């Protein structure tokens, strides 16, 4: 199991977390590449269905940030 | 062009290039230790050895310095090459067995232990450092000696001034023989060469001579620091030029003098933090654990030198106990010349203490040593109270000395507490809350501009013109106007903009140009034809992600008609090229895989528009900020992620539809609700800038609370100055005043409001584009302290009235008492009224002026004479006004006995009750808002627990509401003195003009749309929308009566209603369900 890495789909608010992820890049902070970002206009847009869809499509974890 | 073969593959290179350069271009890896792009190759390490076939025979050459010629055949990976390299590595390994890079190479070439005698050197004599030093223009080192005596050394083994400790040698040394550590210990420490400290990180971290000042810098491009760049010292180096892919670096650039003709100047030079090194008793210069609050900010910041991990600097251990010392460089005439209060330090110290506890855990002990706690801003008092609840300790004491504790990194302080006890305490870290001061450069600039300064070196301004300098046309904002925090600076800046706007109004829109409009191609119903442009961003993306393979992959995706890669997608020529490709290939959807849409989406959308495409047929894949920059060490997975992100973007864009942005006219009329000082200021500013303005005032006269005030601290009679303002407003042709009028209904939205004004039963409709809410506040009527039972007991405003009337009883009084915080800073009203300390002290001085023998007492909790208001506090003490502090738990007692007003208060120094018989007792009652619930309903704007309106953003949007087209100023926002009310009036006008001047507003295309056939009229969207965009269609409408609809002008496209709609009736255009689901399923983790 030590080799196992979770696959994460993240839903990031355009105004804060998405910008923060950009800033992490500008600051060259390094993190694991097993994350796929879906940009949403606001976490208000987030629907439970999106989380379920991501899990159904094979994601091990869903991260909503905003 | 030279054509030859590498490993059987036909390759081409330029005349004069070496084998290695061409191989690199074709992605063929040749190992090397001594090669550097910016230096002439020397062939010293021999590891780049390759096999060359010249048509007759094969031989070994070094790839780095062997020039190419037509028809040659090179093998980089043949068995003989491998064998040859193995021997070279084995020999180097024997010389330097402990060098990691050689160990890695040895492993690669299958060497376990070298067959030769092992030595213990770490230098492979590749000479890279020597060549680099020469390139630096120094030649401070050379390869000296011969044969086995050869080594890298300085001439005659002596350290000379030729070496400037630039570190270039260490930066290229492949083996770690030369390290920065060694340079630091052997050279910089001895010769006093300083590391280059990052200004942004307050010197807690180093930076390079080529640097981006900080991550969010605008423009976000590197600068070269001429003072430290080696090229500007020696004329050498220029290594950066070799690495820049677009030849952007020009060392010959000179400072330019640019002449601008302007009609107005706004000064916003800011402040410099006070330098506490001159206070030797605080040991700031000598002890690493005594830091300034600015350094603490960096230590607490996630982007700071420790990544937000709170450590003390001496040993990088987590501190257990931290103290903050307030008023370092403020309110101090003894050790520095800044007698003013810096206004912001109390609040930032509390913030730092709270954040420190959040970072380090509740066990961290935080203590703030202060004189008066000045939390006079909106919601600040609550924050102060919360900090106390969270365990931040507040000690009222000014500490004189910080003593280092022997044999430890701790610091010891001795102080006298509230009760007069001498205490000693140790801390791990002490933060000096440094004040704000004007820098000498700014003082010099002010002198050059011929503008007057105050005693504290801030810009001199008038209470009624707080952003105007002493020179007409030059305005000021921010901390140069006086020490202030962010919200106040933001208010100032808007005000300065409108002040400048007033005198420049005639020139508005006279120098604008209309862009050429390309007609939009209708693509509705067409099969998607997607174009994918993958950006290399120089080496920013291509250095990690395999860009060509991403472009190749993109071409295989459904609907993709065209895919390519660009060196810099944002370059103008690339943009033009993309626009051409879109037209030629008839693309109707575009994906750019590059940096972030946050910064570059508008630019690429512009490209689409220029190609005749709707700008919403576009998607970005963020393969730089979210990929190449953050997965540097994992190129393979980063490339895979890039492909996934491109696939997700392509899948989403294929579902994109052209969206419409409706254009709406803005009615160039403004309505100001409230005719007090701030409302009138806003109206006058709007009118001066050419907009018709209506003031709606419910009372029978203009002026509001201004009528109750006697004078300002600068000595201006309010009645006089306000009289001039009223006259301006009444005589202005563009202002209409509606007295005794209230609002009874408001319809519409930004740019197109329709309000009903009611006056004496008459109703009038007013159409306007913007509204400014300036409904003001009033003084709290209290029953405390026997108010109302004796004519000698009055409120501050009543005292002002008596002063205006020159009441002779004032001068005859033998003693006067002021009680502060009457109704403020109490559980039922937990905010500071901001104006009362200054007001009472000013009145105390006025009483002293009228009768110098009068005994005047001010009973206070904290004196909050912030900024340069502090001067009058000092003056009052000098003139003999006695200040007695009381606690909320032990309020003064007022009794009416024997015809006297007897006040009993416990003296904070003596600790015993003192009785004062007062001829005058003034109660500084709280400022309370005129609670305007109906108005809040009309404009859909919020009111906080205290009854004040809630602005758009506490720091960045203090004079406007989240509802577009509605603005805010004056006491309705928060208690404030006249100058601040005027500044905010101007600021509200300024924010309103940004809308009015546009003449039209465009709705966004990415907004919610309701499918009325699906709508069940449940009303969830209406109740949940923060912007009041959805509403029910009228019950008597012909179509869809009673169903919900979204006003596209008000909708901000957040999608809250979409996610909440139970019927699935709402779609968010541009982020619709099908698009997001498609994106999710495209992230399909193979």
B625:A22 CB<8 A: yes
pLDDT of residue B693: 98
Express each pLDDT in A5-30 by its tens digit.
Answer: 899 999 999 999 999 999 899 888 99
The percent helix, strand, coil of chain B (3-state, each to 5) is: 30, 25, 45
Is 3.50.50.60 the CATH classification of the domain at B274-437?
Answer: yes
Every domain range in chain B assigned CATH 3.30.70.20: 1003-1082
C-alpha torsion angle, residues B297, B303, B305, B307 (rounded to 10):
100
Q: What is the token pair recorded at B587? A: 């693309």
- Output DSSP code: residue A27: T
Find the residue in B nearest to A25 (Cα): B625
Q: Is the dihedral of CA B371, B927, B343, B978 positive or negative?
A: negative
Judging contacts by C-beta atoms under 8 Å, the chain A residues touching residue B624 are 25
For the B1003-1082 domain, the top CATH level (class) is alpha beta
pLDDT of residue B295 exceeding 70: yes
Q: What is the token pair recorded at B211? A: 């640097």
Q: Answer whether residue A1 is part of any domain.
A: no
User: Strand runs (DSSP E) across B363-511, as ranges?
Assistant: 365-370, 393-396, 402-404, 411-416, 422-427, 429-434, 436-437, 474-476
Judging contacts by C-beta atoms under 8 Å, the chain A residues touching residue B596 are 18, 22, 25
Residue B898, classified by CB atoms within 10 Å of its CB into exposed (0-12), middle (13-18) or buried (19+), is exposed
Residue pair B645/B653 in contact by the 8 Å Cβ criterion: no
Least confident among B71-85, B368-382, B857-871 = B71-85
Find the residue in A nearest to B220 (Cα): A26
Residue B872, phi then psi, degrees to nearest 5: -75, -25
Least confident among B191-200, B429-438, B621-630 = B191-200
Mean pLDDT of chain B: 94
Q: Is the minimum CB–CB distance between A52 and chain B shorter than 8 Å?
A: no
Q: Which candidate in B218, B620, B630 is best for mutational testing of the A interface (most A CBs within 10 A)? A: B630
Rounded CA-CA distance B465/B479 in Å is 16
User: What average pLDDT score do residues B176-198 get?
Assistant: 81
Which residue bears the tokens 């180096």?
B237
Q: Is the minimum CB–CB distance between A12 and chain B shorter than 8 Å?
A: no
Judging contacts by C-beta atoms under 8 Å, the chain B residues touching residue A29 are 630
Judging contacts by C-beta atoms under 8 Å, the chain B residues touching residue A22 are 596, 598-599, 622, 625-626
A22:B1080 CB<8 A: no
Judging contacts by C-beta atoms under 8 Å, the chain A residues touching residue B622 are 22, 37
Q: Residue B71: how many CB atoms within 10 A of its CB?
A: 11
User: What average pLDDT score do residues B569-586 get?
Assistant: 92
Every domain range in chain B assigned CATH 3.50.50.60: 274-437, 665-778+943-1001, 780-928
B631:A38 CB<8 A: no
pLDDT of residue A1 exceeding 50: no
Judging contacts by C-beta atoms under 8 Å, the chain A residues touching residue B303 are 23, 27
Residue B352, classified by CB atoms within 10 Å of its CB into exposed (0-12), middle (13-18) or buried (19+), is buried
Which residue bears the tokens 């000098």?
B878
- Total domains in the fold of chain A: 1
Q: Answer whether residue A29 is part of any domain.
A: yes
pLDDT of residue B189 exceeding 80: no
Domain residue limits at A38? 8-65
Residue pair B1055/B997 in contact by the 8 Å Cβ criterion: no
B1056:A45 CB<8 A: yes
- Among B598, B1056, B1059, the residue with its CB nearest the CB of A18 is B598
For the B780-928 domain, the top CATH level (class) is alpha beta
Rounded CA-CA distance B646/B217 in Å is 28
Q: Answer whether residue A40 is part of any domain.
A: yes
Q: Which candidate in B626, B1066, B1082 is best for mutational testing of the A interface (most A CBs within 10 A)? A: B626
Q: Min CA distance, A43 vs chain B (Å)?
A: 8
The percent helix, strand, coil of chain A (3-state, each to 5) is: 35, 25, 40
A33:B627 CB<8 A: yes
Rounded CA-CA distance B958/B956 in Å is 6
The pLDDT-based confidence of B157 (bands split at 50, 70, 90) is confident
Q: Min CA distance, A56 vs chain B (Å)?
A: 9
B1080:A57 CB<8 A: yes
| Best CA proximity match to B628, nearest among A47, A22, A25, A7 | A25
- Among A19, A29, A30, the residue with its CB nearest the CB of B598 is A19
Residue B393, phi then psi, degrees to nearest 5: -95, 130
Q: What is the token pair recorded at B960? A: 């406007």
How much of chain B, in percent, has pLDDT values that exceed 70? 99
- Among B598, B631, B1081, the residue with its CB nearest the CB of A57 is B1081
Rounded CA-CA distance A30/B581 in Å is 36
For residue B702, what are the CA distances in angstroms to B59, B683, B741?
Answer: 99, 12, 12
Rounded CA-CA distance B706/B726 in Å is 11
Q: Which residues 6+ apart lie within 8 Å of B192 measured at CB?
A: none
Q: Is the minimum CB–CB distance between B627 and chain A shorter than 8 Å?
A: yes
Q: Is the minimum CB–CB distance between B598 and chain A shorter than 8 Å?
A: yes
A30:B632 CB<8 A: yes
| Best CA proximity match to B720, nearest among B729, B730, B710 | B710
Express each pLDDT in B1021-1042 by its tens digit.
Answer: 999 998 889 999 999 999 999 9
Which residues is B434 bridged to in the sheet?
B328
- Among A33, A41, A46, the residue with its CB nearest the CB of B1053 is A41
pLDDT of residue A3: 78
The pTM (predicted TM-score) of the whole model is 0.86
Here the ipTM equals: 0.97
Judging contacts by C-beta atoms under 8 Å, the chain B residues touching residue A26 are 215-216, 220, 625, 629
Every domain range in chain B assigned CATH 3.40.50: 530-654
Q: What is the token pair recorded at B812? A: 């005859």
Find the residue in A nearest to B1086 (Cα): A58
pLDDT of residue B1085: 61
Q: Is the dihedral of CA B444, B445, B451, B452 positive or negative?
A: negative
Rounded CA-CA distance B943/B935 in Å is 10
Q: Is the dihedral of CA B92, B96, B97, B103 positive or negative?
A: negative
Full strand arrangement of the beta sheet holding B321-328: B290-292, B429-434, B321-328, B365-370, B393-396
Rounded CA-CA distance B573/B674 in Å is 54
Q: Which fold has domain B665-778+943-1001?
A: FAD/NAD(P)-binding domain (3.50.50)
Express each pLDDT in A25-66 by its tens digit.
Answer: 988 899 999 999 999 999 999 999 999 999 999 999 999 998
Rounded CA-CA distance B713/B710 in Å is 10
pLDDT of residue B162: 83
The pLDDT-based confidence of B759 (bands split at 50, 70, 90) is very high
Q: What is the token pair recorded at B838? A: 């200054």
- Among B596, B633, B1056, the residue with its CB nearest the CB of A42 is B1056
Rounded CA-CA distance B457/B547 in Å is 56
Residue B392, classified by CB atoms within 10 Å of its CB into exposed (0-12), middle (13-18) or buried (19+), is buried
Which residues is B962 bridged to in the sheet?
none
Query: Using CB atoms and an 8 Å cut-off, which of residues 203-222 of chain B contact chain A?
Result: 215-216, 220
Rounded CA-CA distance B973/B88 in Å is 77
pLDDT of residue B1086: 57
Rounded CA-CA distance B738/B154 in Å is 87
Express each pLDDT in B394-411 by its tens digit.
Answer: 999 999 899 999 999 999
pLDDT of residue B343: 97
Q: Which residues 6+ apart lie within 8 Å of B1013 measured at CB?
A: B1065
A23:B303 CB<8 A: yes
- Among B216, B638, B1081, the residue with its CB nearest the CB of A33 is B638
Q: Which residues 6+ apart lie within 8 Å of B716 measured at CB?
A: B462, B463, B464
Q: Which candidate in A3, A18, A41 is best for mutational testing of the B interface (most B CBs within 10 A)? A: A41
User: What average pLDDT score do residues B750-765 get?
Assistant: 94
User: What average pLDDT score do residues B327-349 get?
Assistant: 94
Q: Min CA distance, A38 vs chain B (Å)?
A: 7
Rounded CA-CA distance B555/B533 in Å is 10
DSSP SS3 for B894: strand
Residue pair B704/B698 in contact by the 8 Å Cβ criterion: no
Find the residue in B nearest to A55 (Cα): B1080
- Among B596, B630, B1006, the residue with its CB nearest the CB of A30 is B630
Q: Is the minimum CB–CB distance between A6 and chain B shorter than 8 Å?
A: no
pLDDT of residue B187: 76
Q: Min CA distance, B628 vs chain A (Å)?
A: 8
Judging contacts by C-beta atoms under 8 Å, the chain B residues touching residue A7 are 1085
B625:A24 CB<8 A: yes
Q: Which residues 6+ apart lie within 8 Å of B731 measured at CB?
A: none
User: B2-108 in CATH: which number?
Assistant: 3.10.20.740
A9:B631 CB<8 A: no
User: What average pLDDT score do residues B970-995 get?
Assistant: 97
A59:B1083 CB<8 A: yes
Judging contacts by C-beta atoms under 8 Å, the chain B residues touching residue A9 are 1080, 1083
Residue pair B658/B616 in contact by the 8 Å Cβ criterion: yes
Q: Is the minimum CB–CB distance between A41 and chain B shorter than 8 Å?
A: yes
User: What average pLDDT score do residues B991-1005 get?
Assistant: 92
The residue length of chain A stands at: 66
Q: Answer whether residue A2 is part of any domain.
A: no
For residue B678, what are the CA distances in angstroms to B160, B460, B706, B982?
Answer: 68, 21, 10, 5
Residue pair B224/B209 in contact by the 8 Å Cβ criterion: yes
Express each pLDDT in B444-495 by its tens digit.
Answer: 999 999 999 999 999 999 999 999 999 999 999 999 999 999 999 999 999 9
A22:B598 CB<8 A: yes
User: What average pLDDT score do residues B737-765 get?
Assistant: 94
Number of alpha carbons in the 13 Å side-chain half-sphere of residue B326:
27
- Among A32, A44, A57, the residue with its CB nearest the CB of B1083 is A57
């Amino acid at each position: 199991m030590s080799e196992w890495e979770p696959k994460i789909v993240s839903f990031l608010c355009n105004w804060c977390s998405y910008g923060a992820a950009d800033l992490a890049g500008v600051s060259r902070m390094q993190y694991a590449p097993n994350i796929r970002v879906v940009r949403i206009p606001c976490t208000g847009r987030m629907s439970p269905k999106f989380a379920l869809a991501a899990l159904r499509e094979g994601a091990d974890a869903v991260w909503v940030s905003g | 062009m030279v054509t030859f073969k590498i490993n059987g593959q036909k390759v081409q290179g330029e005349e004069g290039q070496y084998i290695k350069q061409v191989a690199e271009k074709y992605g063929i890896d040749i190992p090397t230790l001594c090669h550097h792009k910016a230096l002439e190759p020397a062939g010293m390490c021999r590891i780049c050895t390759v096999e060359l076939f010249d048509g007759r025979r094969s031989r070994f050459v070094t790839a780095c310095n062997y020039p190419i010629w037509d028809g040659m055949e090179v093998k980089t990976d043949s068995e003989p090459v491998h064998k040859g390299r193995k021997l070279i590595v084995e020999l180097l390994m024997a010389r330097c067995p402990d060098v990691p890079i050689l160990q890695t190479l040895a492993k690669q070439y299958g060497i376990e232990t070298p067959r030769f005698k092992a030595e213990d050197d770490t230098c492979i004599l590749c000479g890279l450092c020597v060549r680099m030093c020469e390139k630096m223009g120094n030649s401070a080192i050379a390869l000296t000696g011969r044969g086995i005596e050869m080594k890298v050394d300085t001439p005659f083994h002596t350290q000379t001034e030729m070496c400037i400790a630039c570190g270039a040698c260490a930066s290229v040394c492949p083996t770690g023989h030369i390290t920065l550590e060694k340079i630091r210990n052997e050279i910089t420490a001895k010769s006093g060469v300083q590391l280059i400290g990052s200004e942004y990180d307050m010197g807690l971290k180093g930076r390079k001579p080529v640097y981006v000042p900080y991550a969010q810098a605008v423009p976000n491009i590197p600068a070269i620091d001429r003072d430290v760049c080696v090229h500007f010292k020696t004329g050498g180096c220029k290594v950066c030029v070799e690495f820049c892919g677009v030849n952007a670096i020009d060392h010959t650039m000179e400072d330019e003098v640019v002449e601008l003709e302007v009609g107005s100047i706004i000064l916003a030079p800011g402040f410099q933090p006070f330098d506490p090194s001159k206070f030797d008793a605080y040991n700031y210069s000598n002890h690493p654990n005594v830091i300034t609050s600015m350094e603490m900010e960096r230590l607490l910041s996630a982007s700071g030198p420790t990544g937000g991990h709170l450590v003390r600097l001496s040993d990088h251990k987590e501190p257990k106990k931290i103290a903050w010392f307030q008023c370092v460089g403020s309110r101090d005439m003894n050790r520095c010349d800044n007698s003013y209060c810096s206004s912001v330090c109390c609040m930032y110290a509390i913030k730092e203490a709270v954040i420190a506890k959040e970072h380090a855990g509740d066990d961290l002990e935080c203590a703030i040593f202060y004189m008066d706690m000045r939390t006079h801003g909106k919601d600040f008092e609550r924050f102060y109270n919360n900090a106390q609840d969270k365990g931040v300790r507040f000690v009222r004491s000014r500490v004189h000395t910080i003593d280092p504790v022997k044999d430890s990194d701790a610091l010891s302080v001795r102080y006298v507490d509230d009760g007069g006890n001498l205490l000693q305490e140790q801390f791990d870290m002490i933060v000096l809350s440094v004040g704000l001061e004007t820098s000498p450069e700014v003082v010099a600039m002010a002198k050059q501009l011929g503008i007057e300064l105050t005693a504290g070196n801030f810009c001199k301004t008038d209470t009624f013109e707080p952003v105007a300098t002493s020179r007409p046309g030059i305005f000021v904002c921010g901390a140069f106007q006086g020490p202030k925090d962010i919200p106040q600076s933001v208010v100032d800046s808007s005000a300065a903009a409108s002040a400048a706007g007033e005198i420049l109004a005639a020139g508005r829109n006279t120098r604008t140009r209309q862009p050429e409009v390309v007609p939009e191609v209708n693509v509705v119903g067409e099969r998607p034809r997607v174009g994918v442009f993958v950006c290399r961003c120089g080496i920013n993306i291509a250095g990690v992600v395999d860009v060509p393979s991403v472009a190749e992959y993109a071409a295989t995706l459904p609907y993709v008609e065209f895919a390519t890669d660009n060196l810099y997608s944002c370059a103008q020529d690339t943009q033009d090229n993309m626009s051409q490709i879109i037209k030629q290939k008839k693309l109707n959807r575009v994906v750019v895989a590059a940096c972030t849409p946050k910064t570059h989406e508008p630019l690429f959308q512009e490209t689409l528009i220029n190609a005749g495409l709707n700008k919403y047929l576009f998607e970005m894949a963020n393969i730089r900020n979210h990929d190449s920059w953050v997965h540097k060490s994992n190129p393979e997975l980063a490339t895979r992620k890039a492909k996934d992100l491109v696939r997700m973007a392509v899948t989403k864009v294929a579902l994109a539809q052209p969206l419409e942005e409706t254009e709406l006219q803005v009615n160039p009329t403004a309505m100001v609700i409230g005719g007090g000082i701030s409302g009138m200021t806003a109206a006058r500013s709007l009118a001066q800038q050419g907009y018709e303005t209506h003031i709606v005032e419910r009372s029978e006269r203009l002026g509001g609370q201004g009528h109750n005030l006697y004078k300002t601290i600068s000595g201006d009679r309010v009645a006089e100055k306000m009289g001039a303002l009223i006259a301006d407003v009444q005589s202005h042709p563009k202002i209409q005043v509606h007295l005794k009028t209230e609002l009874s209904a408001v319809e519409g939205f930004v740019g197109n409001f329709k309000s009903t004004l009611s006056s004496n039963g008459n109703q009038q409709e007013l159409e306007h584009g913007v509204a400014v809410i300036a409904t003001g506040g009033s003084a709290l009527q209290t029953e405390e302290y026997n108010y109302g039972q004796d004519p000698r007991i009055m409120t501050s405003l009543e005292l002002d009235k008596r002063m205006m009337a020159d009441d002779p009883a004032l001068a005859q009084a033998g003693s006067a008492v002021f009680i502060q915080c009457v109704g403020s800073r109490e559980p039922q009203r937990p905010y500071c009224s901001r104006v009362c300390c200054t007001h009472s002290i000013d009145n105390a001085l006025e009483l002293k002026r009228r009768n110098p023998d009068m005994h005047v007492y001010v009973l206070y909790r904290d004196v909050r004479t912030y900024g340069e208001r502090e001067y009058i506090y000092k003056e009052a003490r000098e003139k003999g006004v006695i200040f007695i502090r009381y606690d909320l738990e032990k309020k003064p007692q007022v009794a009416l006995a024997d015809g006297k007003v007897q006040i009993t208060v416990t003296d904070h120094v003596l600790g015993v009750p003192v009785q004062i018989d007062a001829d005058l007792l003034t109660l500084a009652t709280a400022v309370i808002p005129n609670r305007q619930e109906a108005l809040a309903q009309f404009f859909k704007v919020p009111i906080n627990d205290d009854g004040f309106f809630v602005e758009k953003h506490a720091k960045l949007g203090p004079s406007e509401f989240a509802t577009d087209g509605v603005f805010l100023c004056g006491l309705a926002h928060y208690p404030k003195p006249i100058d601040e009310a005027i500044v905010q009036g101007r600021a509200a006008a300024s924010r309103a003009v940004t809308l009015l001047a546009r003449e039209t507003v465009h709705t966004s295309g990415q907004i919610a749309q309701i499918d009325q056939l699906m709508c069940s009229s449940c009303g969830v969207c209406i109740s949940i929308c923060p912007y009041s965009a959805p509403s029910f269609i009228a019950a008597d409408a012909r179509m869809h009566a009673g169903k919900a609809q979204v006003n596209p002008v008000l909708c901000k496209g957040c999608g809250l209603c979409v996610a909440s709609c139970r019927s699935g009736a709402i779609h968010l255009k541009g982020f619709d369900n099908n698009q997001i689901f498609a994106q999710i399923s495209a992230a399909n983790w193979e």
